[in-house]
Amino acid sequence: MSDINSGLMDRIQTISGNAFSTLVLDGAGPIAVEFMSYGCGYCRAIEPMLQEVAETLQSREQIFRINIEAEPELAASFEVQGTPTFIMFLNGREVGRVEGIHPTLSNVMAVVTAPFEARD
């Protein structure tokens, strides 16, 4: 599997469907999951911003990555139609979703934090 970061330190763990239940559905607190594919140009475009967001939020929020090509059943179970799709979970429940985003740092930050800020 190729590294989407092209050599950057990866702050986002790519997880399998097996780990999804444990880390996300049984996880506590705010968790953002990026459903992506390595062939997706938009996924590659937002990756540097997503890494920066992960660095900024590391103590407040977890971010995971699901490769839909390796986990098509998981993507289908969440009705993921395209990449990137971000689904935000709070204590195992979906609280927000964004499909496709404009690749800017402020947009990526807003996508992964807004559903949780509304609940504070």
Give me the sign of the Cα torsion angle 16, 18, 24, 27: negative
**Residue where the block lists tokens 């050599």:** 7
Of residues 102 and 50, more confidently modeled: 50
Give the span between the Cα atoms of 104 and 120, in whole angstroms.
25
Of residues 117 and 94, more confidently modeled: 94
Q: Give 24's DSSP letter.
A: I
pLDDT band at 118 (very low <50, low <70, confident <90, very high): low
- 105 and 52 Cβ atoms separated by less than 8 Å: yes
Beta strand spans in 3-114 (E): 13-14, 30-36, 62-67, 85-90, 93-99
Predicted confidence (pLDDT) per residue in 46-72, tens digit: 999 999 999 999 889 999 999 999 999
pLDDT band at 120 (very low <50, low <70, confident <90, very high): low
- 46 catalytic per annotation: no
Predicted confidence (pLDDT) per residue in 16-46, tens digit: 998 999 999 999 999 999 999 999 999 999 9
Amino acid symbol at 95: V
- Catalytically annotated residue among 4, 24, 43, 68: 43
- Catalytically annotated residue among 15, 40, 53, 112: 40
Is domain 13-117 given the CATH code 1.10.10.10 in the classification?
no
- 6 catalytic per annotation: no
Give the span between the Cα atoms of 92 and 94, in whole angstroms.
7
Domain ranges of the chain: 13-117
Average pLDDT over every residue of 80-89: 94
